[in-house]
Structure 1
């Protein structure tokens, strides 16, 4: 149970840090790539991003589901199910909002889709940040100040 929690903690913190970088730096810079090379850039971006995020997103998802069945000591259902709900927000946002915009951008440069990607990505940014806060609250409960 401790290992599950540590894997979830590491994967969630990794994804939270990464999503903030993507939100503040990476996605806004898409607009500066330029029309001429954008589709090639976007296709390479999708492949490399999958390599960077895929294993951690899958680890986070697997540990989130596992913790539903084997919660660590003191992690009640409210923590567990809030974490599950936030992860659903991340995955549904990815599938329904970000992936379709990336698919359009892989075929053509579109300032409108870039803006939409940046705006819609706030949903994932907030959800992952909330997951990290949730895990920090749990840590504070199991390691109280004395």
Structure 2
């Protein structure tokens, strides 16, 4: 998810204002549907594997890794539900520069949270992989 969120943050969301106001509502509605079909299952799999790690932690994965990952996943989900989804909903009726800017700015929360999860995983892997 970290690669996808960086693409969305740096390329995709900032380019919303290039779509054109006359076709933006239709674009946004299609975007929401297609994005949900791609990202929804990946987020659910990520949540399921996070729960699995809580119950069956891999060898050498201490509680800081486990609960740090859980905390960051909560940040992602709460940010999505409370910040990004409402902005997308507002934009589905037409382009609004205020909602667009808020979407780009608040999406940094998810970008940093998913990046933090990647750093946790890399740190864990460096500990368990042979020299």
TM-score range, shorter chain: over 0.9
Q: Distance in 1 between matches of 2:76 and 2:129?
A: 28
Q: Distance in 1 between matches of 2:62 and 2:110?
A: 24
Q: TM-score, normalised by structure 1?
A: 0.88
Q: Distance in 1 between matches of 2:47 and 2:73?
A: 7
Q: Distance in 2 between matches of 1:36 and 1:18?
A: 28
The 5-angstrom pairing of residues 1-146 of structure 1 reads 15-145=1-131
Q: Distance in 1 between matches of 2:95 and 2:72?
A: 31
Query: How much is the aligned-residue C-alpha RMSD, in angstroms?
Result: 0.6
Q: Distance in 1 between matches of 2:106 and 2:97?
A: 14
Q: Distance in 2 between matches of 1:143 and 1:49?
A: 35
Secondary structure of residue in 2 paired with 1:107: coil
Q: CA deviation at 1:94?
A: 0.1
Q: Where does the alignment leave 5 or more consecutive residues of structure 1 unmatched? A: 1-14
Q: Distance in 2 between matches of 1:134 and 1:26?
A: 26
Q: TM-score, normalised by structure 2?
A: 0.98
Q: Where does the alignment leave 5 or more consecutive residues of structure 2 unmatched? A: none
